[in-house]
Amino acid sequence: MKDIRNIVILTGAGISAESGVATFRGPDGLWEGHRVEDVATPEAFFRDPALVQKFYDERRAKLRTVHPNAAHQALAKLDAAWPGDLLLVTQNVDDLHDRAGSKHLLHMHGELNSAWCLACDARSPFDGVMATEPPCPQCGQPGCLRPDIVWFGEMPYQMERIEQALARCDLFVSIGTSGAVYPAAGFVQTARHYGARTLEMNLDPSEGSFHFHESRMGRAGELVPDWVEEILQNV
Ligand code: BV8
């Protein structure tokens, strides 16, 4: 394998599954009979804010009961040990990569533990309940907070930074994602276009499996620690 210096890793709900966090498209993919696509939209929020706030309040509360698994921990070890550039782009809105210790990390679809104030536009750390219309931590206005989550039809965060990293990377690794949602599902094609090697690790083949040079099928909790050991051997 040509020498690898710069790595971009994309993770999805599958990396958090073994921590007990529900995935979107698995058997537990529905929430109270709602398809996520129907709840994770600005239209749903403005049509029925109480329903959407409940959806996110419940998922935010659940974070306190789950912990990073071996895959999160292995990626944090790689983050600390890798001599070249490493960027972990997660589609997940949970805080498990953060709690495992990954530093070169960005949440392209936002975070459960962040609140976005529609009055002052500030984002603030938030781990409480939004349905009770608490005041904004910055401007103090009550009833103006929305989840700081990128919904369908909204622009993911830090796309410039992601595209620059994809253009420069020698290796693109996709872990635990179905490849169903864009622009994240297109990152593998961008990376290949710029000459990167591409590796997928997933329980089942994703919708974009054919784009990857290599696919390893299995649980992230087993595959990711093995891969991190393998890649650190060549350092
Ligand atoms: C945008 C936050 C434009 C919410 C999320 C038609 C064609 C192409 C695109 C579109 C289209 N129509 C509309 C679009 C655009 C749309 C889209 O892609 N729709 C899809 C449904 C077709 N995309 C958007 O709207 C995006 N924005 O395009 O903006 C724009 C341009 C200019 C200006 C303004 C706007 C925004 C999308 C972001 C939506 N928010 N999340 C929340 O969390 O509540 S998406 C959500 O689903 C996730 O964040 C993730 O991104 C996505 C997919 O989920 P996965 O993480 O992959 O999870 P999933 O359950 O699907 O799969 C889990 C995988 O893990 C499985 O493969 C399974 O096998 C595996 N697995 C399970 N267990 C394990 C495992 N693997 C390993 N180990 C295990 N143990």
Cα separation, 198 vs 37, whole angstroms: 28
Tell me the DSSP string of 127-193. -S-STT-PBPTTT--BT-EEEEE--TTSPPTTHHHHHHHHHH-SEEEEES--S-STTGGGHHHHHHH
Cα–ligand 1 centroid distance for 49 (angstroms): 22
pLDDT for 25 equals 78
Cβ(112) – ligand 1 distance below 6 Å: no
Check residue 75 and give its pLDDT.
99
Question: Which ligand 1 atom is the nearest neighbour of the CA of 36?
Answer: 44
Confirm or reject: Cβ of 177 under 6 Å from ligand 1: yes
Q: Which residue has the tokens 């784009």?
A: 211
Q: Which residues are catalytic?
A: 109
Segments in the chain below pLDDT 50: 1
b/e burial code for range 35-55 (CB count within 10 A of at least 16 → b): ebeebbbeebbeeeeeebbbb
Give the per-residue pLDDT at 98. Answer: 98
What are the tens digits of pLDDT across the range 50-64? 999 999 999 999 999
Q: How far apart are CA 234 and CA 47, in angstroms?
A: 53
Query: Per-residue pLDDT tens for 30-56?
Result: 666 777 778 999 999 999 999 999 999
Atom of ligand 1 nearest to the CA of 11: 56
For residue 28, what pLDDT is reported? 63
pLDDT reported for residue 33: 73
Ramachandran assignment for 86, one of left (phi > 0), alpha (psi -120 to 50 degrees), beta (any other)? beta
Q: What is the pTM of this model?
A: 0.97
Pocket mutation for ligand 1, best pick of 92, 154, 174, 181 (most atoms within 8 Å of C-beta): 181
**Residue among 32, 182, 200, 219 whose CB has most ligand 1 atoms within 8 A, to mutate:** 182
Closest CA to ligand 1's atom 19: 181
pLDDT value of position 30: 62
Q: Which protein residue's CA is at the shortest distance from atom 8 of ligand 1?
A: 182
